[in-house]
Structure 1
Amino acid sequence: MNSSSPQNNPHLLQQLMQRVGFSSFRALGQAAGVSEKQIRRLRRGEVAQIRLETLLKLSQVLQVSIAELLEIFIPSKDQSREGKPQNSQLTYELENLRQEYNRLQQQLLQQKQALQQEFQQSSLQVLESLLLQLPTAAYTAQQNPQVPAVKLLPLLKPLERLLQEWGIEAIAEVGSEVVYDPQQHQLMEGFAEAGDLVRVRYTGYRQGDKLLYRAKVSPLSHH
Structure 2
Amino acid sequence: MSDSNLVWFGSVLSIGSIIFVLSLLGKRTGSQVSQSALQTTQSSIPSTDSDQVRSLQQQCVQLRQELQQQQTQLLTDWQNSTFEQLQSLLISYPTARKMAETKPDLPAKNLIALFTPLENLLEAWQIEPIGAPWEAVPYDPQLHQPDTDDLAAGEPVYVRFVGYRQGNRILCPAKVSRTLPGQV
Q: Shared topology, TM-score over 0.5?
A: yes
Alignment partner, residue 57 of structure 2? 98
- In structure 2, which of residues 163, 169, 174 is the aligned counterpart of residue 204 of structure 1? 163
Q: Deviations over 1:145-184 (max 9, x none)?
A: 1111221110110000010111111011011111111111
Counterpart AA for 1:77: Q
Q: Which residue of structure 2 aligns with residue 62 of structure 1?
A: none
Where does 1:171-182 land on structure 2 (aligned, <5 Å)? Answer: 171-182=130-141
Cα-to-partner distance string for 1:95-145 (whole Å, 9 max, x where unaligned): 111011100011011111111111111111110101111121012101221
Q: How many residues align?
A: 163
Native 8 Å contact 1:77 1:86 kept in 2: no
* 2:152 is the counterpart of 1:193: yes
Q: TM-score when scaled to structure 1?
A: 0.65
Q: Tell me the residue number matched to 1:160.
A: 119
Query: Which residue in 2 is equivalent to 1:114?
Result: 73
Provide structure 2 residue ranges, at least 5 long, that are not aligned to the other structure: 1-7, 26-37
Taking the aligned partners of 1:72 and 1:78, their CA distance within structure 2 comes to: 14
Secondary structure of the structure 2 residue equivalent to 1:170: strand
Percent identical across equivalent pairs? 35
Measure, in 2, the Cα distance between the counterparts of 1:221 and 1:99. 64
Tell me how far apart the structure 2 counterparts of residues 212 and 74 of structure 1 sit (CA, whole Å): 48
- Could you tell me how far 1:70 is from its partner in structure 2? 4.3
1:73 paired residue number: 23
Structure 1: where are the runs of 5+ without partners? 1-51, 60-64
1:143 and 2:102 aligned:
yes
| 3-state SS, counterpart of residue 132 of structure 2 | coil
Counterpart position of 1:169: 128
Inter-partner Cα distance in structure 2 for 1:71 and 1:135: 59
Counterpart contact for 1:171–1:215, Cα < 8 Å: yes
Change (3 A) 1:173 1:165: same
Structure 1 segments, 4+ long, off by >4 Å, are none
Q: In structure 2, give the amino acid aligned to 1:110.
A: Q
C-alpha change, 1:190 and 1:209, in structure 2 (3 Å) is: closer
Supply the distance in 1 between the matched residues of 2:180 and 2:104 (Cα, whole angstroms): 32
